[in-house]
Amino acid sequence: MQRSVKLGRNDPCWCGSGKKLKKCHPNEIPANPLFRRQFQILEEADMPKMRRVCRLNAEILAEVCKRVVPGVSTEQINTWVHEMTLDAGAYPAPLNYPKGLTDPRNPQIKAGGFPKSVCTSVNEIVCHGIPSADVILKDGDIVNVDVTCLLDGFFGDSSATVYVGTPSDEAKLVTETARECLEAGIRAVQPGGRLIAVGQAISQLAGSRGLGVVREYTGHGIGRVFHTEPQVCHYPNPETDCELVPGMTFTIEPMINAGTWRTELDNRDKWTVYTADRRLSAQFEHTVRVTETGVEVLTQL
């Protein structure tokens, strides 16, 4: 379900003007308003289904990652994810996103929709890499596998970056830092705390190692909706800050670059995102839920 959450001074005003609360109606907040900025708050009654889809998501991701070796194509990864998801009675949420669901056994790709069941982002691809039979993984590559399942009306979302064969020192640095940044971001989640703490923790760690933190692509609220508020920035962004309250469910998915944080979108497919300097990028992702005492990592096996 969605519920109004206490607004910070830098949040968009409840009136819908697009201005910050502090510049618009700082002293005129109505009692229990349904703000334009809405968050998914999952109640305990929602959690059996949410935990089920998140566990399935994690199991599929783990199994596929074990199969990634030199000589495997990213299309093969897509086939594995697609078949495992359907066999579990779920739907691969990236397929045709955001145009809507189709028959997954005979998908008819709609114009503009993502054409595959998983994102596979190799080396300098930051995110939203499209699987292809022409992309054959070779020794020394790194590939991020990003899986999202829809089951019984709930979404689970997680990703991991995999070493293909023997990685270079730079590949190990960017990949292990991305893994540690996710862990640092999760540790920053506390009920009554602030969302900006997640970005602060990630940015501080990556910056201490001379690595870039992608800004254009972020984590997001998730539950009954695939992508919703809050926007989870992996750097300190007061524009998206908010109070963390129990039941709030979202992804943390830092994208860490070996060089600049800046990115470029492929103008041909309108999906694939590259590092601007074409250096390596790595990412790890979990779906988490704020609890009364801390944080629950829903996609952790």
pLDDT, tens only, 234-248: 999 998 999 899 999
134-176 residue pLDDT tens: 999 999 999 999 999 999 999 999 999 999 999 999 999 999 9
Q: What is the pTM of this model?
A: 0.87
Per the CB < 8 A criterion, the answer to whether 271 and 112 are in contact is no
DSSP 139-198: TT-EEEEEEEEEETTEEEEEEEEEE-SSPPHHHHHHHHHHHHHHHHHHHT--TTSBTHHH
CATH superfamily, with its number, for domain 43-297: Creatinase/methionine aminopeptidase superfamily (3.90.230.10)
User: To the nearest whole number, what is the mean pLDDT of the chain?
Assistant: 89
**Extended strands (E) in 184-259:** 212-213, 219-221, 228-232, 249-252, 255-257
pLDDT at 6 over 60: no
What's residue 105's pLDDT? 72
Residue 1: pLDDT over 50: no
* Model confidence at 98: pLDDT above 70: yes
Residues 203-215: what's their mean pLDDT?
98
Tell me what percent of the residues of the chain surpass a pLDDT of 90. 77
Quote the radius of gyration of the chain (alpha carbons, Å). Answer: 19
Residue whose structure tokens are 């005129």: 28
pLDDT of residue 285: 98
Q: What pLDDT was estimated at residue 4?
A: 39
Gap between the Cα atoms of 276 and 263, Å rounded: 5
Of the candidates 118, 106, 128, the one whose C-alpha atom is nearest the C-alpha of residue 82 is 118
| Residue 226, pLDDT score | 92
Assess whether pLDDT exceeds 80 at residue 33: no
pLDDT tier at 34, thresholds 50, 70, 90: very low
Q: What is the DSSP letter of 225?
A: S
How sure is the predictor about 7, in pLDDT bands with cuts at 50, 70 and 90?
low
Between 42-46, 74-78, 272-276, the lowest mean confidence (pLDDT) is in 42-46
Domain boundaries, the chain: 1-37, 43-297
pLDDT of residue 14: 45
What pLDDT is recorded for position 19? 61
Give the whole-number percent of the chain exceeding pLDDT 70. Answer: 86
